[in-house]
């Protein structure tokens, strides 16, 4: 394998900065971030702009936004993206680490247009009150992971984390099911961490980036 080309690496580093903030870049921000000379940053941005990657923002000297070429490249990636194949690969990787059953699931809307029929998931027993349910859901939202202890199967517990797309919307969930003979609540952080890591990896392949909600 050949060695990376420093100039190309720097150019890609600059493009990746568009993932953060408001999606624009000011030349001095690039200079501070990478501790590069101003002339080098100017040359990088000028070269990339010549290929319609970042382009100057009108009436804001020195500020750039993603150009049409980045959209075209992203569209090409989306066209060939195989969600099912990516799901299987990530699930296999997580399963290989924990040795348990790993699933990626999406919500299946079965409505016919005349009703709101949607497959539902039981998240609480009948005697769980609304306030308690809201507390549980708030905890799940804060932690970014849900834990189900023998609720759907008395012999199995499960942890799950959300999979998000490029807009930050939750589009699926990755879960790990663990038989009770191997489940210990004091150690549930381990499968929870693996579920979050797997979900984050799949989210990244869908265009979501860290820190985006």
**Rounded CA separation 34/44 (Å):** 12
Which pLDDT score is estimated for 213? 56
Which of residues 29 and 84 earns the better pLDDT score? 29
Q: Is the dihedral of CA 62, 67, 73, 78 positive or negative?
A: positive
4-49 per-position pLDDT tens digit: 888 888 888 888 888 777 788 888 888 888 888 888 888 888 888 8
| DSSP H helix total and E strand total for the chain | 7, 7
Which pLDDT score is estimated for 166? 79
How far is C-alpha 18 from the chain's CA centre? 16
Q: Are 164 and 203 in contact (CB under 8 A)?
A: yes
Phi, psi of 10 (to 5 degrees): -65, -40
- The pTM is what? 0.61
């Amino acid at each position: 394998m050949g060695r990376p080309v420093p100039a190309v690496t720097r150019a890609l580093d600059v493009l990746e900065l568009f993932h953060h903030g408001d999606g624009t870049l000011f030349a001095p921000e690039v200079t501070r971030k990478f501790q590069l000379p101003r002339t080098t940053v100017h040359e990088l941005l000028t070269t990339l702009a010549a290929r319609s990657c970042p382009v100057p923002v009108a009436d804001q000297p020195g500020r750039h936004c993603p150009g049409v070429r980045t959209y075209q490249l992203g569209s090409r990636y989306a066209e060939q993206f195989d969600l099912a194949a990516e799901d299987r690969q990530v699930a296999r990787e997580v399963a290989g680490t924990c040795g348990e059953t790993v699933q990626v699931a999406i919500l299946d809307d079965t409505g016919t247009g005349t009703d709101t029929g949607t497959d539902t998931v039981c998240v609480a027993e009948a005697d769980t009150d609304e306030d308690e349910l809201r507390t549980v859901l708030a905890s799940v939202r804060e932690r970014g992971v849900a834990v189900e202890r023998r609720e759907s199967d008395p012999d199995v517990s499960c942890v799950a984390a959300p999979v998000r797309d490029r807009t930050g919307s939750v589009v699926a969930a990755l879960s790990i099911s663990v038989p009770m003979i191997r489940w210990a609540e004091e150690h549930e952080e381990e499968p929870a961490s693996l579920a979050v890591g797997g979900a984050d990896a799949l989210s990244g392949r869908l265009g979501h980036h860290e820190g985006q909600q």
